Amino acid sequence: MIRVLVTDGMEKSAIKELKAKGFEVVQEFYEADILGEKLKDFDVIVVRSATKLRQPVIDKAVGAGRLKLIIRGGVGVDNIDVAYAIENGIKVTNTPNASSASVAELAIAHMFAVSRFINISNVAMRQGIWDKKKYVGVEIAGKILGLVGFGRISRELAKKATALGMKVIYTDIVGKVNDCDEYEFFELDDLLKKADYVSLHIPFIKKHGATIGKDQLDMMKEGAFLINCARGGVVDEAALVEALDSGKLAGAGVDVFVEEPTRNEELVNHPKVSVTPHIGAATAEAQTRIGTEITSIILEYFK
């Protein structure tokens, strides 16, 4: 029997379908020092962001020769040593289509939150404070949204932002995208100087460090907003707090952090910041789509 280990949870209907198709599904989270040994008894592992599949874990699995497939439920695979797994005969894949709409909607939610003080006024009112005159915000219609990275999530966000009356510009490591002429391409530095809102949709590459640090924040417009629903680490958190304190940035929406769960109380409690605990794909619809896509990948691989 083909055995599937699900370490970070999966939609119930997807698990039910796999079991109905004859797969054994085990739902259990293991710390890294134990995970490698456990993987000797599984053909597939399904992870989200909590489980880290680094070289030492992969080495133990490879030694047994059973593990054939690693599936990341979601988009980013920075918690997996992908190249090393592939070199050792293990296929690595993700579910890139499933959560695009959900993450795009969360980015917009953060944009509204910091533009209209929803984040801080919500807290103040619960404390009995009526600061109506203090919360004079800005409209997002007519503003320029700069997208850093132009993959599936960015394109979904571009469509939604355009419908809300924003002008969308973008940058991407591959350069200008041929089939998106309705949006204007800029190099990163020029985009940062031009955009009223900057939303990040790029992976974190540890050896490269933060994509948005002090120098990049200094380039941004006075009173601009930064949204990060991509990956912790792509923004220098200390530099971001400094930019908010100085008034360089009017606000920031943050769903992802360098350390998760984050212990950066200065950032989380900042009055100009709207924060969520890495919930970009946490909608019922996205979870259903992720589960369906994972099931399809497994069934296709073992057909």
Q: Which residues are catalytic?
A: 231, 260, 278
* Count of Cβ atoms closer than 10 Å to residue 287 Cβ: 21
From residue 214, how far is each of 170, 194, 203, 245, 249 by CA, in Å?
A: 20, 17, 19, 13, 12
Q: What is the DSSP letter of 31?
A: -
- The whole-angstrom separation of Cα 77 and Cα 45 is 13
Helices (H), 196-280: 214-219, 237-246, 265-268
Place of tokens 């974190």: 204
CA torsion angle 100 102 107 108 (round to 10): 110
Helices (H), the chain: 12-20, 32-38, 55-64, 82-87, 100-115, 118-126, 152-163, 188-194, 214-219, 237-246, 265-268, 284-301
Backbone Cα Rg of the chain: 21
Sign, CA dihedral 145-234-232-36, equals: positive
Helix axes 100-115, 152-163, angle to 10 degrees: 50
- The whole-angstrom separation of Cα 30 and Cα 38 is 8
Determine contact, residues 274/110, Cβ cutoff 8 Å.
Answer: yes
